[in-house]
Amino acid sequence: MNKLEKASSDLDKKLSSSAKDWDQLKHESGKLKKDTAILSKNYKGLQNDVKIESSRINQISDTRFLGVQSIKAKTDLLNDKVKEINDTLASTQEKSASFSQSITDIRKRLSKAEKEVNCLDKTSKSYANILTTKIDHIDNISTVDSSYCSSELALPDVHRTINLTNNTDSEGIHSTCSVNQKSRHNKINVNVSNDSNDGIIEMPSNITKQSLKHNRSSSHAESKLLQDESDRSIPVHFPRSTCRPTQSSIFSGFVKNSIRKVKRFYIGGINKSSTETGMRTYLSQNGIRVTHLRYFDKQMRRTASAQVNIDAQDECKIRDPSFWPPGVFMKDWLPWSVFRSEKDITQDPHTKSWI
């Protein structure tokens, strides 16, 4: 009996301890259920957060892609503009080089023309002096020959005639000396003629020598005159194209070449259907002499424009308001420095057009 009681008491103790353990297990299972519920809620929240973050990441990637694409497009446009600017700079450099070369050529021509003008002035003056020297020399020779003829005339009672003819000059100047002696008048008449000037010199006939007739040949006179001219001549260069010795008397001088003035204008409001060729044709048909024309037809503008350089004499025509079609206006072309100061512009003209 005692053993049974002990066994029952042991069983009771074990049952009570197992009941306590069961209660603890129930309590812990309840806690576990609560924790699992909390974990499930947290898991669902994390899933929502992951979805939201993934969508946000997708949006960021999309916007980044779009931004990269837009940046690429902008860089392509900038590269195209840079290429255009480089092309325009190269063309302007070529034009400036050609303009500088033409300016140097014009300066050389002007200096050469000034030298030729100075040379022509000197040669014309020297040629006039040479002509004057030739005429004086021929007159002196004719006077000497006439005095030589008068010194060797015949006696008073004999009728003698001495004729001296000199054809010495290529310019057509002839010298003639004729001496007539008569015994009745007891005097000597000496006639000296040079084509247009005739003179008579009367001298007393008091010579006691025998009569003498003296005839000088034209070849001897020509050789003597040529020898004297070679002693007196001045070496002068006469340009064949500018100075003709036979026509120096009718030389009237040089004519100054007038420089044509140019006026610059800005033409705006041109219809987009028009072209540069059509504008040139319109101006030429209306009597406008165009020296330079730049046509601006940009895609972003509603109308076209142009820079026109014309002869200054046609300025009154182009300023007439009835000259241009309706909608087209005109104003003076301003240099970039003046235009920038008036409009207060600080941007680079190559990046944005201000026309």
pLDDT digits (tens, 9 = 90+) for 139-156: 555 554 455 444 444 444
Tokens 């260069």 label which residue?
A: 237
Strand pairing category for 197-204 and 187-194 = antiparallel
d(CA 147, CA 177): 10
d(CA 161, CA 177): 11
In the DSSP assignment, the letter for residue 321 is G
Beta carbons within 8 Å of 311's beta carbon, 6+ residues apart: 260, 261, 262, 263, 288, 289, 291
User: What is residue 67's predicted lDDT score, i.e. its pLDDT?
Assistant: 87
Beta carbons within 8 Å of 188's beta carbon, 6+ residues apart: 150, 153, 179, 180, 181, 202, 203, 204, 205
Task: Tokens for 260, please give them.
Answer: 């044509």
The residue extents of the domains of the chain are 144-250, 261-355
Residue pair 279/270 in contact (Cβ under 8 Å)? The answer is yes
Q: How many helices (H) and strands (E) does the chain have?
A: 5, 8
Number of C-beta neighbours around residue 318 at 10 A: 18
Give the CA radius of gyration of the chain. 60
User: What is residue 20's predicted lDDT score, i.e. its pLDDT?
Assistant: 84
Helix axes 218-232, 2-150, angle to 10 degrees: 140
Third-level CATH fold of 261-355: Alpha-Beta Plaits (3.30.70)
The type of residue at 254 is F
User: What is residue 285's predicted lDDT score, i.e. its pLDDT?
Assistant: 92
d(CA 53, CA 90): 54
d(CA 350, CA 335): 15
Task: Tokens for 346, please give them.
Answer: 């600080």
User: What is residue 239's predicted lDDT score, i.e. its pLDDT?
Assistant: 54
Pick from 210, 216, 215: nearest CA to 153: 210
Pick from 276, 279, 273, 272: nearest CA to 300: 272
Task: Tokens for 92, please give them.
Answer: 């302007």
User: What is residue 265's predicted lDDT score, i.e. its pLDDT?
Assistant: 92
| Positions in the chain short of pLDDT 50 | 144-145, 148-217, 241, 351-355
